[in-house]
Amino acid sequence: MIEKYPFIFSDAARYRIARHVSFWLFWGVFQGFLYSFVAIQRGTIYYLPRLQSSFAESFVFLIPHMFLSYMLIYFVIPRYLLKQKYFITITWVIVLFLTAALLSTILSLTVIESIRRHILGEQYLAFIRKSGWGLSIFLGLMAGLRGAITIGGISAAIKLMKHWYVKEQRNLILQKENMEAQLKVLKAQIHPHFLFNTLNNIYSHTRNSSPAASKMLMELSDILRYILYEGDLKQVALAKELKLLRDYIELEQLRYGNKLEVTVNYPSNSEQYSIAPLLLLPFVENCFKHGASHILEHPWVSLHLHISNDVLYMKLLNGKTEEMPAHTPGIGLQNVNERLRLLYPEQYDLQVINEPDVFIVNLKLTLQQLPAVNNLVHHQQTVSYA
């Protein structure tokens, strides 16, 4: 649907520039015609000079109007309103409205004053001498405030309408993809009870004879349980997602033995955050699939995660040889990149660097905090993960 109306919804530079230029041209012309009918003093100024003056004034007043509009749609709305910080939003709106009104008044007493003197001549000067400068300043401030409220309301309404429409379209796309994924799983699904009962039976048989195999079975069971029961949720506790990474890395360590060097740092404050499930695993899996498995001697993987100001920073590195073919983006990485785009629009930054001897993934992701009531429950459930 978004591709169907690119001029309105596309974020491509050519459409955005054309959209903004068209809007401000329309607004300037509309204001010029609208205020050309407001005579300074009835019967003293002819319409044609007033029309010329009104058009010139309208395009000069685009300066405070554009300042106000872009501050609202690119600063106040995304940073405060959409994050439900209503008090700060109201404060900024009042400050910006008053600033735009003051800027309009300054322009009215300087640039607009010169335009009116040039176009309207003695008729305008006679009006100014009669009304006085105090009244001119007051009328300029009121007119500036009225214009600021008008254009600010229109700009905010357009921004919010576009935001909610695009969000709704993304939700529809996600629902469709989830339905398709569920159908694929159903076609090849083994009944979970059978699967876990079988794994538990194998675990009980190997617990004494092969502790290493028993440990691998338990971690594999935890991974499968997480994928089956948590993987279709919209958000899970970040601590659970990190537990999944621990289990997966430990399985790989058991598989490689002493040949593999792994350095891992997990954040200590993960209990209070949530994340989309199975979002980080494909990156770690890719390290072993394309890195460690191709290095015969001294494979290594380094994973560092930390959280600062509600933002998760992940730096993932794995060694590779110069003879190895360059990493090609597999289905797993393509899927996670698409999920990031749909689930975290404008809330993530992903950098993938392919050097001759190292592959680097840098991910910066804005996290959501768990509700305070559920935070304690998730903390109790994840104590054993540490």
User: Quick check: is 223 in a domain?
Assistant: no
Tens of pLDDT, residues 64-119: 999 999 999 999 999 999 888 999 999 999 999 999 999 988 888 888 778 877 77
Look at residue 320 and tell me whether its pLDDT is greater than 70.
yes
**Same domain? 144 vs 240:** no
116 lies in the same domain as 262:
no
Residue 141 near residue 133 (C-beta atoms within 8 A): no
Do 161 and 266 fall into the same domain?
A: no
Question: Does residue 193 carry a pLDDT above 70?
Answer: no
Tell me, yes or no, whether 127 and 237 share the same domain.
no
**Shared domain check, 134 and 50:** yes
Residue 236 DSSP SS3:
strand
Q: Domain check: are 248 and 320 in the same one?
A: yes
Confidence band of 331 (pLDDT split at 50, 70, 90): low
Percent of the chain with pLDDT over 70: 74
Domain check: are 142 and 34 in the same one?
A: yes
Average pLDDT score over residue span 351-365: 88
DSSP state of 139: H
Residues 20 and 93 in one domain: yes
The whole domain housing 108 covers: 6-177
In this predicted model, which residue has the larger pLDDT, 83 or 362?
362
Q: Are residue 124 and residue 235 in the same domain, yes or no? A: no
The residue type found at 47 is: Y
Strands 358-366 and 236-237, bridge-based pairing: unpaired
Residue 88 or 296, more confident: 88
Say how many domains are in the chain: 2
Q: Which helix (H) or strand (E) holds 241?
A: helix 238-256
Whether residue 238 sits in one domain with residue 325: yes
**Cα dihedral 251, 254, 258, 260 in deg (nearest 10):** -20
- C-alpha–C-alpha distance, residues 206 and 218, integer Å: 11
Closest CA to 234 of 271, 275, 183: 275
Contact 336, 283 (CB under 8 A): yes
List the structure tokens of 126: 């006679």
Lowest mean pLDDT among 19-28, 33-42, 139-148, 211-220: 33-42
Lowest mean pLDDT, pick from 7-16, 324-333, 357-366: 324-333
Instruction: Kindly state the helix (H) or strand (E) to which residue 201 belongs, with its residue range.
Output: helix 192-206
Considering the domain architecture, whether residues 92 and 159 belong to the same structural domain is answered as yes
Mean pLDDT value of segment 155-161:
91
- Is the residue at 301 inside a domain? yes
Q: Are 173 and 287 in the same domain?
A: no
Pick from 158, 177, 196: which residue ends a domain?
A: 177
Q: Is residue 207 part of a domain?
A: no
The CATH code of the domain that includes 272 is: 3.30.565.10
CA distance 98 to 106: 12
